[in-house]
Chains A and B, each alone.
Chain A
Amino acid sequence: AQSVTQLGSHVSVSEGALVLLRCNYSSSVPPYLFWYVQYPNQGLQLLLKYTTGATLVKGINGFEAEFKKSETSFHLTKPSAHMSDAAEYFCAVRQTSYDKVIFGPGTSLSVIP
């Protein structure tokens, strides 16, 4: 069965510092991988996704993530945090032959001025 783990339910960074949010997955086949962001009192929106091809994926708002098959990881990074990045971030995985997406528990990102 697929599963997604996100290390750290809450991460705090200073404005301008590196953002690193960790995601590991278990899947029997190479999966589709996603990062979604949820701002307060809103639904989720897609930040970036990996399906096939280049393992370094760039998304919106300066975020990127790298698919590492050997480590079963898909960590999210941003070189310089901005106050507007404060939100909840969800990693998700989907097997290619099914419609269902499995979400991780989420990481709440705080940005300190």
Chain B
Amino acid sequence: NAGVTQTPKFQVLKTGQSMTLQCAQDMNHNSMYWYRQDPGMGLRLIYYSASEGTTDKGEVPNGYNVSRLNKREFSLRLESAAPSQTSVYFCASSGTGGAHQETQYFGPGTRLLVL
């Protein structure tokens, strides 16, 4: 099992450019999440999707959009990148029901630098 995969691993953007971060999970999980990690601030939730076809804002949604394409895939889009969006982005998923319903499984992260 690959678990949670993210692409790309690294990206450099210029201010105003757009890009989409891709995330996929092969664990048949219902819930998927996008976080950003900044030094000294832990992980902050950007958006989440409790099930296929639904998405909700998290703590820091401004400047981002998401798409839950199907049960496996959850993408994060930056329409017009800003230097404040320089961060490490993590995708995660969690199941419902059973022993692992509360555990989140994380991808390896995408490092984004906006110049």
Complex: how many Å from CA A2 to CA B32? 20
How many A-B contacts are there with CB distance less than 8 Å? 52
CB neighbours of A27 from chain B (8 A) = none
CB neighbours of B106 from chain A (8 A) = 36, 43-45
By size class, the interface of chain A is: 20 to 34
- Given the interface pairs A99-B48, A99-B50, A99-B94, the reply to whether A43 lies near B108 with Cβ below 8 Å is yes
CB neighbours of B31 from chain A (8 A) = 99
- A–B pairs, 12, beta carbons within 8 Å: A36-B104, A43-B4, A43-B106, A45-B106, A49-B102, A90-B43, A94-B102, A99-B31, A99-B94, A100-B45, A104-B42, A105-B41
Q: Which A residues lie at the B interface, using CB under 8 A? A: 4, 9, 32, 34, 36, 41-46, 49, 51, 90, 94, 99-101, 103-106
